[in-house]
Amino acid sequence: MHSLARNLSLIKPDTLCAGVDLERKENQVVVINGRAQRLGQFRFSHDEAGYSRLHERLSKLVQRHGASGVVVGMEPTNYYWKLLAADLERRQIPYRLVNAYTVRKHREGDQIDRAKDDLRDAEVIANLLREGKFTQSQLLHGPHAALRQYAVSLTRLEGDMRRRRTIIHHSAVQLFPELGRVFRKFSGVTALALLRRHAAACVMREMPLTAFLASVRQQHGPRRLATAKLCQAHALAATSIGLQEGVEALQLDLAVQVELLEQLEVRREQLEQALLGTFRTLPEAPCLLSVPRLGARSAALILAEIGDPGAFSNAQQLVKLAGVQPTPDTSGQRRSGQTPMSHKGRPRLRTVLYLSCLRMIQKGGIFAQEYAHLCVRTPHPLEKMAAIGVLMNKLLRILWALMHQRTLYRGDMPISERL
């Protein structure tokens, strides 16, 4: 059944549709019937009294108009939707999520002046519910919910670490621009040990080599350091053009940033262990881990973005969730030369699929063979990125089949037969 037809079958003609525009303090609600007539509008707050008010007002409207029930719609644009969804589940009131992009485009189409306010948004959401233009997404529960949160936290923390490394690099280059000849990146053990207290070339050149090495080791601790690189850095410091003013302030900032980065690394390892531990408790874990060259971390992140596989009825829904399905771009006689992926799904899922396929191609095996075939096939050989996109799509379909059938991957079968 087509998704729109399936959605419309869930909304009975006598069902009321309540659109909620979520805000930080007060939320706007508009309730309409099957003929798009506005039956009521009100506001409620994010607390027990506010949620009780929502439930009471909806119950009164259902009774007053003899409706069979009510469906609540909202955008998943902030964490408030989770609070409301949990309360609606507790009160056994059905809810649906509406895409924020769809809401904006429908509002702009309905309003010539493109005016925006909470009341308009709430009414647009209610009408999208009535028209069946919503998703089937629901709150995750149990280990799947924990896995998703671990993945979100890990991704956010790793983003913080990348930003911290950038700050360290910018400060270090000011003090010792030639250091890049010694260290390819400034996030290694030896580089961080050096930057913690001895990043300024003008200070380093005044120290004897033996005293410099002893000081770096004393500050760093018992871990082994690359002494040859430290000696090379000390030699370069003699002719460095690094700054000589404000050195103390930059060095202190570097010490703080290095310490914060090391603390973040400890937290990252804790989060990753929690992620993998939760992943291995799920029944889908053995299925995903049976795929050759798919690492445990990648498998955990993929499942975290998918959530409960039981919420999907076919593999194509997972492909759309990731936004990797080919999207045609034609109009009349005009034909686009390429058919790119839609990029309308979950970006984190798309990223981990891309990196996983790259790794599987580099390590050889079935995916590497399929990639080579796609690039040289006749007719219609694919560009490298297009071939990787095909493999991302196929990997999702393979994972869906394994999870749906609760079976392990059989590596002796070609990809086409697995699908």
Q: Which two tokens stand for residue 250?
A: 């930059």
Q: Which two tokens stand for residue 320?
A: 């759309």
**pLDDT(85) > 50:** yes
379 upstream amide cis, omega within 30 of 0: yes
Cα–Cα dist 142/87, whole Å? 16
Reduced to 3 states, what is the DSSP secondary structure of residue 99? Answer: coil
pLDDT tens profile 353-410: 999 999 999 988 889 999 999 999 988 888 898 899 999 999 999 999 999 999 999 8
Answer CATH for 146-275 from 3.55.50, 2.60.120, 2.115.10, 1.10.287: 1.10.287
Strand 95-97 and strand 69-74: the pairing is parallel
Cα–Cα dist 231/246, whole Å? 25
Answer CATH for 3-139 from 2.30.30.90, 3.40.50.2020, 3.30.1280.10, 3.30.420.10: 3.30.420.10
Question: Residues 147-156: what's their mean pLDDT?
Answer: 96
Residue type for 65, please?
H
Indicate the range of 100-104, 280-284, 331-335 predicted with least confidence.
Answer: 331-335
Q: Return the domain boundaries, the chain.
A: 3-139, 146-275, 285-327+340-418
Reduced to 3 states, what is the DSSP secondary structure of residue 26? Answer: strand
Evaluate whether 3-139 and 146-275 have a shared fold.
Answer: no
Q: Which two tokens stand for residue 169?
A: 């690099």
Task: Show Cβ contacts of residue 148 under 8 Å, excluding neighbours closer than 6 positions.
Answer: 140, 304, 305, 307
pLDDT tens profile 4-33: 788 888 788 899 999 999 998 899 999 999
Radius of gyration of the chain (CA): 28
Helices (H), 343-409: 347-362, 366-376, 384-405
Task: Specify the residue for token string 């045609």.
Answer: 328
pLDDT score at 153: 96
Cα–Cα dist 347/335, whole Å? 27
End-to-end CA distance of the chain: 21
Distances (CA, A) of 299 to 222, 282, 356: 35, 12, 9
Cα–Cα dist 120/124, whole Å? 6
Mean pLDDT of the chain: 89
DSSP letters spanning 36-57 = --EEEEEEEESSHHHHHHHHHH
β-sheet bridge partners, residue 70: 16
**pLDDT(116) > 80:** no
Spatial contact of 71 and 94, defined as CB atoms under 8 Å apart = yes
Cα–Cα dist 42/53, whole Å? 10
**pLDDT(291) > 70:** yes
β-sheet bridge partners, residue 31: 18, 40
pLDDT tens profile 237-273: 999 999 999 999 999 999 999 999 999 999 999 999 9
Q: Is 114 left (phi over 0), alpha (psi -120 to 50) or beta?
A: left
Task: Specify the residue for token string 């002046």.
Answer: 113
